[in-house]
Amino acid sequence: MASFGLKVIRGVFGAAEHVIPRLSGRAAFELFCRTPNVKALTDGERRAVERASAFMAEARHHRLKTKRDCVVVHEFRPEPGKDSRGTVLVIHGWRSRTEYMRSIIEGFCGAGYKVVSLDLPGHGHSLGRHLNMVNAVDAARVAGEWFGPFAAVVGHSFGGAIAANAVAASVKGMPPLAAQKMVLIAAPSSLPAIFDDFSDMLNVGPRSRVAMADRVKHLSGRPLSEFTGDRQLAAAPVPTLIIHAPDDREVHADHATRYAGAGEHVSLHWANGLGHRRILADKDVVKRAVGFVTEEREATLH
CB 143 within 8 A of CB 116: yes
More confident residue, 81 or 138: 138
Residue-wise pLDDT tens digits, 212-237: 999 999 999 999 999 999 999 998 89
The matching CATH number, chosen from 3.30.530.50, 3.40.50.1820, 3.50.50.60, 3.90.228.20, for 61-190+228-301 is 3.40.50.1820
Mean pLDDT across the stretch 22-50? 92
Checking if the pLDDT of 1 tops 90, the result is no
Which pLDDT score, from 0 to 100, does residue 296 have?
A: 64
Which pLDDT score, from 0 to 100, does residue 280 have?
A: 97
User: Residues 69, 71, 75, CA angle at the centre, nearest 5°?
Assistant: 160
Residue-wise pLDDT tens digits, 161-218: 999 999 999 999 999 999 999 999 999 999 999 999 999 999 999 999 999 999 999 9
Give the sign of the dihedral formed by CA 274, CA 265, CA 236, CA 104. Answer: positive
Please give the Cα distance from 208 to 204 (Å, whole number).
Answer: 6
Which pLDDT score, from 0 to 100, does residue 82 have?
A: 72
For the entire predicted model, the pTM comes to 0.94
Residue-wise pLDDT tens digits, 242-267: 999 999 999 999 999 999 999 999 99
- Of 171, 283, 211, 163, give the one whose Cα is nearest residue 25: 211
**3-state DSSP percent of the chain in helix, strand and coil, to 5:** 50, 15, 35
Quickly count: other Cβ atoms within 10 Å of residue 156's Cβ.
27
Residue-wise pLDDT tens digits, 103-159: 999 999 999 999 999 999 999 999 999 999 999 999 999 999 999 999 999 999 999
Q: Would you kindly state where each structural domain of the chain is located, as residue ranges?
A: 1-33+191-227, 61-190+228-301
pLDDT tier for residue 37 given thresholds of 50, 70 and 90: confident
